[in-house]
A = this chain, B = another copy of it.
């Protein structure tokens, strides 16, 4: 086992749960701002912490805040799909499209797995406010790059 794996990565004996993901994030990057609220091996749902987030004029949740949550949801998905809690799983590229003003008390993102290879995880993400999952505020698609073994 390489030193970097020793230090940063935690192979999971069992399935990865929302608790293990949130505990992992609290340990290595507590300022992430996104929390995992549901997880499977082919999807992840994340919620954004809007407590201290400044709204755009009009009360809208800003585009970069939506991007940050999309990126977080995709990270949770990559952790779950690979079965490795690994800090060095990083975004390689991500594109986002804004569909309508994001107005609400809560912001959620669902990331779905498109593929997993030795090199990368690709997923598609939808974002919505409150309980209106059908009324997407933005969609994203992108790639997480996995550390080479």
Contact = CB atoms under 8 A, between A and B. Distances in A.
Interface string A55-68: 01100000110011
A2 interface: no
A130 interface: no
A139 B136 contact: no
A97 B57 contact: no
Contacts of A117: 99-100
Interface in A35-71: 54, 56-57, 63-64, 67-68, 71
Count the copies. Answer: 4
Contact of A143 (B57, B87, B97, B140): B97
Given A67-B67, A117-B100, A124 B95 contact: no
A119 B99 CA distance: 11
A132 to B, nearest CB: 13
A131 interface: no
Interface in A83-105: 87, 90-100
